[in-house]
Structure 1
Amino acid sequence: MESIASALLSLAHRLFQPGFCPGDWVWATSMAGALIALSPVAGAMLVALVRKFTGNRYSGPALIAIAGISLVFVLLLPLLLATGVSSVYRDVFAGGTGGLTTGEAGSLAREYCFVGVQSEYLGGGQNIYETLFYPSDSVLAYGYYLGGLVGLPILALLAIMLLGRVALRRGPKWPGRLMWGSFVAFALMSVGVEANTAVHLWLGFLPVTVLGVIPVALVGPPSWSVIQNSDRPPEPKPRPEPPRQPQPSQQPPPYVPPPPSEVPPPPPQKQYPPTSVAPSPEAAGALAAVPGPMPGTTDAGSGRFKRIRRLGHGGFGTVWEAQDTQLGRTVALKIAHAPDRDTEERMQREARALAMLNHPNCVRVYDLVEEPDGLALVMEYLHGQSLAEAVDTGGALDDVSAGRLWATLASALSAAHDKGVLHRDMKPSNVIVDPEGLPHLIDFGIARSKGDSKLTATGMMIGTPDYTAPETAAGSPASPASDAWQLAATVSYALSGYPPRGTRETPMAALMAAARAEPPSQLPRQSVHARLLIASLDPQPRNRPTLNAVRREVEGWLARVGKSPDGPVTRVVPKVQ
């Protein structure tokens, strides 16, 4: 290894050898340190290249590759080269050539300023361990060595950690420990290097590692499509079925009808909840004799669920705050406008979608019942106000609150996607902020499970134009990426008070802007989330970060600023009585 180190020193001497204080070979030592620093920079670039193809799949070959690159490029090569350089200088000081040419070894005998003879300065002193633990009587000299042998490696460690974070962008940062852990081992194992040589090696090593962030950043992170594929769990392999044993042919016993007394009774008629039973003629006559409206013709409701007030009204149905008279709890009752077959199937699809979810920030469904005026979905009633109202009355959210909102709803939507359910109408009015300031995702009214047919009436627009992803506005089927786009648009609204594409005079104009994939014009540029919002609002679904990637990114930022992702997103509002 000494021959390689001597070649490295010769190259450094040819590249940079100013003939002034502290000496040409002292300057060449710093240049050698810069050349050694290219090794961990190259290692970080290789790690970034590995992730370009593997994404965040930190297991098996990918993890072995990252560990091997860290050991070779951050520990072994720098350690061997640094100790080799020190050995060359010690050999020259002892009277040899150390692998250098005779002329190069002879030029080490020159004297410069405070250094004196270069061969003695670089190869005839104490090593790092002796200098730090057996210092001389000079306090000034010990402070110099403390800064050069401890301070410079610490700064270089920070640069190596930065290299690791850049190489591991768009993913968990924990594999970076392999890189900076290898560097710490290199710094500790190099205590046998001559102290003056080590100081000048570190002086050249530090700036190159700092500047090495640039080429590592130019390699770029893996694409979001690669990350999405790496986050997808592997499909289980089907188990081979055991070979079937041939069964002896047997004739089934002849059918013997049961005796007449044992014939099973016919099945009972289909029973419905009390709210779906039409009044008998006697009851109808009694009700007709009593002044007042008939059941099903009044907004007050009847039967089990007593309607209190109307919460919302849209193209699909009306949502009521109602009282469950049997269980004594307040519920949200969603009743369809036109109880035809398609509407019933849509309501049943919504009920199945919500019943499959089990997330604290998704509204819960209790039942699907018949009301006198149609099929009704019984849901959890959430006290609070919509995110649209909260922003409209209280102003835009700050970065911490918006980060909590994004991470929480990304987790909720991701849980829905894991069950094969798409929301398809993510917008500020479909987010309820409870009195504790926590957000909840509601209204899966146009949610669709994978495999369900599209039961959308002709001419009915899916979603809200201002918050519709470009591909769905253009007629492509919805996907998890379109839900992620709509969530990013909702967060952008929470930060700025405007939809990302701005507002249009008519819904059709907004829909046309979405179909043309017009770039966002109302993004919160001053927010720390602006970069992630731009990526999440990319017109191409394959370029957008996945919801899991967004959640990790936002939660990582919240952790770095000392905030919990579970806190409130708005101020606590008084509970509605």
Structure 2
Amino acid sequence: MPGPVGRVLAGRYRVVAPIGAGGMGVVFRATDELLERTVAVKQLRLTGLGPVGAAQARRRVMLEGQAAARLHHPNVVSIFDVVVERDEPWLVLEYVPSRTLDRVLVEDGLLDPLTAARVGRDIAAALAAAHAVDIVHRDVKPANVLIGDDGVAKLTDFGIARVAGDGSMVSSDALVGTPAYLAPEVARGIAAGAASDVFALGATLYKAVEGAPPFGTVDETGLPGLLGRVARGAVHPAVRAGPLGGPLARLLETDPAKRFSAAAAVEALSELVERQDAPTEVLAGPIPAAPVRSGARRPGVRQGAAGAAAECSSGCRWRSSPPC
């Protein structure tokens, strides 16, 4: 069978070029010839799956469409349509000029803590919106986070999402997700919930700043060893997180009851970003005896990850250790 490039799906979506691939499918840039806009279309990988595997893959695409259709949020990749062409379902998605977070980490290197906090704030907002309509993503990881050319992060791939009370979704009893990003309670056999999505977000940010997931990888001890570390909550201490360390620890709490909710994570990460972005008044010497005129300001600098401004007894403010 010829490749899909050049095909017109459902009489309106002309496939233009491949733009990405994952374990379950290939994503192409396409043109919606009816609305005259660029979209993305996702084709399943069915080769080698067999009849049962192919049926499950088709179901995943339909589930992804049904779950994501309930969400309308700027940090969630929108799904516009599901079409069936030659007995294959295709997802028609919002086209986002972007790279996945895992690709960014490979091509550009690790994120600094403040950039990671911005990504985390965006994805936490996406999760808060999903949880508000009872959707649990269940596979938050760097490969499912898109970093747009504008710097905005979006959550994608709701293929194994679960909707509370909907028996048509993937069984909540199954151990689903990516092992290195699972929450401890999921590795112990408890059904994934909103709290496990938050943990997976924490694991994703940990990977972004530390270079590896918080429990290590399968390569270190094999899958049984990794799942054992996950179940115990044996997180390797973060060493590069800087000002992100506090919020990251709350995202990675072993006890789900002590973990941030997605909404609380948005608040904490937004506060961190705003605090680090805000200009800080830095004076070159002691404050003069005469009062500063109303409205006068000194040039400001951004706080760095190395430390906050300190104030010494004589009134001067310095960026690290006081000189006085």
Instruction: Flag whether TM exceeds 0.5 (same fold).
Output: yes
For this pair of structures, how many residues does the alignment match?
A: 267
Q: Pairwise CA RMSD of aligned residues?
A: 2.8
Change in 2 beyond 3 A, CA 1:510/1:385: farther
Q: Deviations over 1:287-338 (max 9, x none)?
A: xxxxxx5xxx534362333332262131x43333333343333322223336
Give the number of the structure whose residues are more often strand, by fraction. Answer: 2
- Number of the residue aligned with 1:309: 18
User: What does 1:470-509 correspond to in 2, within 5 Å?
Assistant: 470-505=184-219, 508-509=223-224
Change in 2 beyond 3 A, CA 1:517/1:447: same
- The partner residue of 1:550 within 241, 260, 265 is 265
For 1:450 and 1:507, how far apart are their aligned partners in 2? 33
Q: Quick check: 1:382 aligned with 2:96?
A: yes
- Number of the residue aligned with 2:68: 354
For 1:345 and 1:503, how far apart are their aligned partners in 2? 29
Give the number of the structure whose residues are more often helix, by fraction. Answer: 1
Change in 2 beyond 3 A, CA 1:528/1:456: same
- The partner residue of 2:30 within 322, 330, 337 is 322
Shift of 1:349: 2.6
User: What does 1:256-405 correspond to in 2, within 5 Å?
Assistant: 297-300=2-5, 302-304=7-9, 305-307=13-15, 308-309=17-18, 311-314=20-23, 316-336=24-44, 337=46, 343-405=57-119
Change in 2 beyond 3 A, CA 1:562/1:526: closer
Change in 2 beyond 3 A, CA 1:526/1:486: closer
Change in 2 beyond 3 A, CA 1:434/1:453: same
User: What does 1:203-282 correspond to in 2, within 5 Å?
Assistant: none
Question: What secondary structure does 1:482 align onto?
Answer: helix
- Number of the residue aligned with 1:512: 227
For 2:218 and 2:262, how far apart are their aligned partners in 1? 28
- TM-score, reference length from structure 2: 0.73
For 2:26 and 2:109, how far apart are their aligned partners in 1? 28
Question: What secondary structure does 2:90 align onto?
Answer: strand
Change in 2 beyond 3 A, CA 1:319/1:472: farther
- Number of the residue aligned with 1:538: 253
Change in 2 beyond 3 A, CA 1:511/1:437: same
Contact 1:496 1:522 in 2 (8 A): no
Change in 2 beyond 3 A, CA 1:452/1:407: same
Paired residue type of 1:492? Y
- TM-score, reference length from structure 1: 0.43
Asked which structure has the greater CA Rg, the reply is: 1
For 1:360 and 1:473, how far apart are their aligned partners in 2? 31
- Number of the residue aligned with 1:170: none
For 1:389 and 1:343, how far apart are their aligned partners in 2? 24
Change in 2 beyond 3 A, CA 1:482/1:298: same
Q: Deviations over 1:388-438 (max 9, x none)?
A: 121222222222212211222111110111011111110011111111121
Structure 1 unaligned blocks of 5 or more:
1-292, 565-577
Shift of 1:527: 1.3
Change in 2 beyond 3 A, CA 1:510/1:368: farther
Paired residue type of 2:256? P
